[in-house]
Chain A
Amino acid sequence: MADVNHAANKKAGLAQLQKNRRKSFWKEQTKGYLFFLPAAVILLMFVFYPIIWTFLVSFREVRPMEMRNTGLFEMPGQFVGLNQYIEIFHNPLFIKAMVNTLYFGTIYIPLTLVSAALLAVLLNQKLKGVNFFRTVIFIPYIISVVSASLIFLFLFNGDRGLINAVLLKFDLTGPNWLAHSLLAMPVIAIMSAWKKVGYFMLIYLAGLQNISHSLYESAKIDGANAFQRFWYITWPLLGRITLVVSVLLMIDTLNVFQEVYVMTGGGPGDSTTTVPFLIFNEAFVYFRMGPASAMSYVLFVVVIIITVLQKRAVDKRLG
C-alpha cells in the first residue's frame, strides 16, 4: 500500500516537474519573443508587407485614382496575370534602362574593385601616415549621395567646372560632360567609385589583416618564395573577398537612383535612365503602379540570382 502510494506520489511529482519545466519553457519562449516584438512589428509592417504587396500588385492593373479608395490591407485594381511582366519587356525604355545599368557597371565595378584592392594592399604595410591615407580615402563614403552628386555636377560642369579648366591648361576643350549621352554615365560611375572605394578598401584591409603572420613565417621556413607566398596565401583569401566585393558592387550597380535623380534626371535623352530611376518615374510621376511593381520584382529577382550565384561560388572555393 505504502509502495503504491509512493509510486503514485513519485508519478505525480514527475508530472508536476514536467509541467513546471514545460511552463518555464514557454515562459522562456514568451520572454524571448517579447524582446523580439518591437523589431518584428516594424519589420512585418514596413518590410515584409511591402514585399508581398509589391508582388501582388505586380499582377494587377491599377488606375491612379484607385489607390485612394483602397484600404490598408486591400489590393487596388484588377488582376491581369502576367500581362504587366510581358508589357515591361516590350517597353524599349525598360530595355534601355537595363543597358544603361550595364554600361554603368562596366565602368564602376572594375574601377572600384581594382582601386580598392590595390589601395588595401598598399595601405596594409607599415608606412608613415598610413592612418591619414586611410582616413582621406574613406571620407567620401560618409558624404551623402546627394552632396557628392552636387559636387560632381559642378566639377564636371561644361562652362565653369574644374575638369574642363584643367583640360584647358593642356589646350584641350572639354565637352559638356553631363549633357553628352555617352559621357554622362561614366561621370556618374566615377563619382560612385570615388564615394565607395574607401569602404571596399576597408573590407579588403580587414581580410588582409586576418591573415596571421605565422602563416607567412611557416611558409618561409618551408622555403616558399615571395611569389609563392602571395599565390598560395594572399591570393586565395583576396579572391574570396573579391567575390563578396564584386557582388556588393553589382548590387550597388542595380540600385543607382539618387545620383541620376540629382545629376541628370535620366538624361540627356534616356542615356542615364537606370532601372530604379524608371521605377520611380513609373510610380511617382506617371502613377503606373502595376508596371512599377513588376519592374521592382524583376530587379529583386536579379539581385537574388546574383546573391545565390555568389554564395555558390564562395562555397565552391572554400569547399
Chain B
Amino acid sequence: MINKLRQYGLVLFLWFVSLIFLVPLYWLFVSSVKSDAEITRFPPTFWPENFHWSNFVEVWSRLNFTQTFMNSIIVSTSTTILIVIFSTMAAYALSKKRIIGRNMILLVLVGTMTVPPTALLLPLYFIITKMGMYDTLISLILPFGVTVFGIFFMKQYMDDVPDELIEAARMDGCGDVRIFLQIIVPLVKPALVTLVLIEFVNNWNSFTMPLVLLQSESKYTLPLRLGLLASENVALPWSQILAANLLTIIPVVVLFLLLQKQFIKGIMEGAVKG
C-alpha cells in the first residue's frame, strides 16, 4: 500500500517536472498563432482567441525563408556527410592501423577538445578571408568537415571489431579500401546513424560561425536569421518572430522524435565510454 502511494507520488512529481520542461514549448506554440493585437496584450491569454496560422505564411515570405531554409539544409547536410566520411576514415586509421605516433595523435586530439569555441572565431575569420571563402556557404562546410568528437565516437566502436575478422579478410586478398567499406562500415552502422543525427542537429543549430563568416542575407542560415531578428530590432511582431522560431525547431524535433531511441542510446554509450 505504502509502496503504491510512493509510486503515485513519484509519477505525480515527474508529471510536474515534465510540465516545467514543456511550458516554454507550449508558450512558443500558443504565442506563434496569436494575432498582432492579442500578443501585445497584458496579461496575456493562456489560449489563443483564434488561431492565426497566417503568421507562418507571412513570416515565411517576409524573411525569405525558402532560401534560408535551403541554405540551412545545404550546410547541415554537406557538413554532416563530410564529418561522417572523414571521421570514420580517421577512426579506422587510429583504431585498426598501427600507424607511428598513434598515441601522440590521440593525445593531441583530446587536447583540442578543450579549446573554447570563441577562441577560434578570430583566427578562423582571418584564415577564411585569406582563402577567399568569406561570405560563402563553403566557409561553413569545409572547415567543419571533421570533428574530434566524431573521430573518437567512431574509434570506440571500431575498437570492438575483432582484429581476426580483418586478418581473415586480408588472407582472402582484401585491400584496405574493401576491408573498410565491406567489413568495418557495415559493422559500425548503428554508430554511424547516431553520428549523423548528432552532427546534423549540431550544424542545424550553429549560430556563431555563420554570424562571423557570412555577410549577405541571401547566404543566411536559420539560426543566424533568427538570432539577428532580436538584435537588429526588425519591426516584426513577436508572434511572427516566434512563428519563425517554431518553423526552425520543427525539423530537428521531428527528426529526434522519429529516431529518439538511437539518439539517446548513442549519447548514453558515448557518455559511458568517453
Q: Which A residues are within 8 Å of any B CB, using their own CB?
A: 28-29, 31-36, 38-40, 42-43, 45-51, 53-54, 57, 67, 70-72, 119, 122-123, 125, 127-129, 132-140, 142-155, 157, 159-162, 164-165, 168, 194, 198-199, 202-203, 205-207, 209-210, 251, 254-255, 257-258, 261-263, 265, 275-276, 279-280, 283-284, 289, 292-293, 296-297, 299-300, 303-304, 307
Contact between chains at A54 and B119 (CB < 8 Å): yes
Contact between chains at B24 and A144 (CB < 8 Å): no
Contact between chains at B100 and A42 (CB < 8 Å): no
Interface contacts beyond A38-B145, A50-B120, A137-B21: sample of 4 additional A-B pairs, CB < 8 Å, sorted by A: A31-B176, A35-B97, A147-B245, A284-B125
B93 at the interface (CB under 8 A from A): yes
Chain B interface mostly: helix
Chain B residues 246 to 274 lying within 8 A of chain A, measured CB to CB, are 248-249, 252-253, 256-257, 260, 263-264, 267-269, 271-272
Contact with A along B122-134 (1 / 0, CB 8 A): 1111110111000
Q: Shortest Cβ distance from B18 into chain A, in angstroms?
A: 5
B216 at the interface (CB under 8 A from A): no
Residues of B within 8 A of A283 (CB): 121-122, 125
Residues of B within 8 A of A160 (CB): 39-42, 44, 238
Contact between chains at B121 and A154 (CB < 8 Å): no
CA distance A36 to B7 in the complex (A): 53
One of B53-61, B63-71, B188-196, B205-213 contacting the partner: B205-213
Q: Shortest Cβ distance from B181 into chain A, in angstroms?
A: 12
Which of A51, A151, A262 contacts B115, CB < 8 Å? A51
Contact between chains at A45 and B207 (CB < 8 Å): no
B220 at the interface (CB under 8 A from A): no
Sample 28 A-B pairs with CB under 8 A, ordered by A number: A35-B93, A36-B89, A39-B146, A42-B86, A43-B146, A45-B143, A47-B112, A50-B120, A53-B123, A135-B260, A135-B264, A140-B25, A142-B201, A146-B207, A147-B223, A151-B25, A151-B27, A194-B20, A194-B24, A202-B264, A206-B268, A210-B272, A261-B227, A284-B212, A296-B116, A300-B114, A300-B119, A303-B115
Q: A43-B112, A150-B245, A153-B230 are in contact. Are A122 and B89 (CB under 8 A)?
A: no
Q: A38-B89, A145-B205 are in contact. Are A263 and B230 (CB under 8 A)?
A: yes
B33 at the interface (CB under 8 A from A): no
Q: Shortest Cβ distance from B31 into chain A, in angstroms?
A: 6
B75 at the interface (CB under 8 A from A): no
Q: Which B residues are within 8 Å of any A CB, using their own CB?
A: 7, 10-11, 13-14, 17-18, 20-25, 27-28, 31, 39-44, 46, 85-87, 89-90, 92-94, 97-100, 105, 109, 112, 114-127, 129-131, 142-146, 148, 151, 176, 180, 201, 204-208, 211-212, 223, 226-227, 229-231, 238, 241-242, 245, 248-249, 252-253, 256-257, 260, 263-264, 267-269, 271-272
Nearest B-chain residue to A299, judged by Cβ: B116
CA distance A280 to B121 in the complex (A): 8
Which of B31, B87, B114, B272 contacts A206, CB < 8 Å? B272
Which of A57, A168, A198, A276 contacts B116, CB < 8 Å? A276
